[in-house]
Amino acid sequence: MTTIVTFIIVFGILVFVHEFGHYFFAKRSGILVREFSIGMGPKIYAYHKNGTTYTLRILPLGGYVRMAGLEDDGDTLAKGMPVGLVVNEQGIVEKINLSDKISLLNAIPVEVSDWDFDQALFIKGYENGDESEEVTYQVDHDALIVEKDGTEVQIAPLDVQFQSASLLNRMITNFAGAMNNFLLAIVAFFVVALLQGGVVSSTTTIGQIQANSPAAKAGLKVGDQVVKVNQTKVATFTELSSKITANPNKQLKFTVKRHNTLKTITVTPKKVISNGKAAGQVGIVAKQKIDHSLGAILGYGFKETWSVMVQIFQVLRNMFSGFSLNDLGGPVAMYSFTSQAAKYGPVSVITLLAFLSINLGIVNLLPIPALDGGKLLLNFIEAIRRKPIDPEKEMLLTLIGFAFLMILMVLVTWNDIQRYFFR
């Protein structure tokens, strides 16, 4: 239960922060955000204010922002559909009811024959089943539509649609989700440093050696400072660990400083399987040091975020030379990581939150249609061409990208299930 609750909280924070970035900059750009949803599925609660309907939905995983004019936003009106129109004293439509779950007082029953909510702002139809006379109503710029599930959202005239914003504002809005994820990681790492009372760093000095490990058999001792591996200097334990991990069953020459004397010791990392891939281990644990200074604590969020970003980009680069599903992880992998982090307390969970937030930000910026990065790529192409891309072609690219992501998600999820539950 602890893992489930932690997973929901971590996943919820990641999605909320990401979507809030899009929401905030869309509003600042004059783009109508029709709905901001926390959760997915059937609606539990809805509140409408300043053009946006805020909804809470039953499944506590994910969320979304409906921006006017995008491919995932559209009204479900159709010719011949019965609707209820609520008009003001001037006869202008203020609310259009499409739902058979809700009855509106004084609503005029109309069978729709035509409408335009983009520019002309009207709706036509036959009142009370009388097909002898077609009636036209003007629609208020900020009129509400009661959708079939009972959710009230504002109509989206052309002037408040996404495409009507300037190119720069659209680019900022597309980038804002990932930007917020990076900012969340910075804040999370800063909180980690506060909770630890300072910045904990692992040195290249050996703090512990496992019994009967390759390190013990090779003659390494606690207190040895590893200076080089195969004549390559190592300044951090991360660099040392990377060298070891990448060389299973291969001899490595460690240059160590012991009592101010340099020694060369040959160590052969044993081969282990980690997440479906071969990796080397020698059985050492780094000696840690803590910097309690305020400057170190303040800078930790930025330094650690940048460090993780560099590592992720290295992984992405390596994927071009040898792609493997084991390099990717979906919700199942996230759940597994959360389960492990929850065992070690808040610091581990917040560290995981930061790591996942950076991952989410970077993945969303990949130039794949349907992702934020794909949208940004189309924005750049539009800037070069100095004219918008054909909406139909953009829709086709988005559908192709979405199909690719869905197939990849299925493959990754199945691979994760095999890795974490049947290994």
pLDDT digits (tens, 9 = 90+) for 127-177: 987 888 899 999 999 999 999 888 999 999 999 999 999 999 999 999 999
Percent pLDDT > 70 in the chain is 91
Residue of 19, 111, 147, 304 marked active site: 19
Q: Of the segments 186-195, 235-244, 402-411, which one has the largest average pLDDT value?
A: 186-195
Task: Give the gyration radius of the chain's Cα atoms.
Answer: 28
Residue 311 has pLDDT above 90, yes or no: no
Domain boundaries, the chain: 82-161, 165-198+293-423, 199-291
Q: If you average pLDDT over residues 286-306, what whole number do you get?
A: 88
Long-range contacts of 295-300 (CB under 8 A, 24+ apart): 296/193, 296/198, 296/199, 297/190, 297/193, 297/194, 297/198, 297/199, 298/190, 300/189, 300/190, 300/192, 300/193, 300/199
pLDDT value of residue 314: 79
Q: Which two tokens stand for residue 395?
A: 């829709």
pLDDT band at 2 (very low <50, low <70, confident <90, very high): confident
> Is 371 within 8 Å of 401 (Cβ atoms)?
yes
**Distance (Å, whole) CA 139 – CA 122:** 5
Selected residue with higher pLDDT from 320 and 168: 168
- Three-state SS letters, the chain: CHHHHHHHHHHHHHHHHHHHHHHHHHHHCCCCEEEEEEEEEEEEEEEEECCEEEEEEEEEEEEEEEECCCCCCCCCCCCCCEEEEEECCCCCEEEEECCCCCCCCCCEEEEEEEEECCCCCEEEEEECCCCCCCEEEEEEEEEEEECCCCCEEECCCHHHCHHHCCHHHHHHHHHHHHHHHHHHHHHHHHHHHHHHCCEEEEEEEEEEECCCCHHHHHCCCCCCEEEEECCEECCCHHHHHHHHHCCCCCCEEEEEEECCEEEEEEECCEEEEECCEEEEECCEEEEEEEECCHHHHHHHHHHHHHHHHHHHHHHHHHHCCCCCHHHCCCHHHHHHHHHHHHHCCHHHHHHHHHHHHHHHHHHHCCCCCCCHHHHHHHHHHHHHHCCCCCHHHHHHHHHHHHHHHHHHHHHHHHHHHHHHHCC
Is 19 designated active site?
yes
Given pLDDT bands bounded at 50, 70 and 90, which one contains residue 81? very high
pLDDT band of residue 322 (cuts 50, 70, 90) is low
Q: How confident is the model at residue 391 (pLDDT cuts 50, 70, 90)?
A: confident
Q: According to the model, what pLDDT value does residue 323 have?
A: 61
Q: Where do we find the tokens 């979405």?
A: 402
Output the pLDDT for position 415: 66
**Strand pairing category for 232-233 and 252-258:** unpaired
Cα 94 to chain centroid distance, Å, stands at 36
pLDDT for 327: 62
Q: How confident is the model at residue 302 (pLDDT cuts 50, 70, 90)?
A: very high
Higher pLDDT, 46 or 419: 46
Contacts of residue 31, Cβ cutoff 8 Å, sequence gap at least 6: 67, 68, 69, 160, 161, 162, 164, 165, 169, 173
Place of tokens 């959760």: 39
**For residues 194, 196, 199 and 200, what is the CA-based torsion angle, rounded to 10 degrees?**
-160
**Mean local confidence (pLDDT), 225-252:** 90
Number of neighbouring beta carbons within 10 Å of residue 112: 19
Q: Which CATH architecture has domain 199-291?
A: Roll (2.30)
Q: Residue 339's pLDDT is what?
A: 75
Residues 179-186: what's their mean pLDDT? 96
pLDDT averaged over every residue in the chain: 87
Predicted local distance difference test score (pLDDT) of residue 61 = 73
Mean pLDDT of 383-412: 78
What per-residue confidence (pLDDT) applies to 20?
95
Per-residue pLDDT averaged across 93-116, rounded?
Answer: 91
CA distances from 330 to 313, 408, 413, 415 (A): 18, 10, 6, 9
pTM for the predicted model, two decimal places: 0.77
Give the residue among 312, 316, 310, 304 at the shortest CA–CA distance from 351.
304
Mean pLDDT (whole number) for 24-39: 94
CB 288 within 8 A of CB 203: yes
Residue 329 — very low, low, confident or very high, per pLDDT cuts 50/70/90?
low
Chain position carrying tokens 């349907």? 370
Q: What is the mean pLDDT of residues 13-29?
A: 94
Low-confidence winner among 92-106, 122-136, 310-324 (lowest mean pLDDT): 310-324
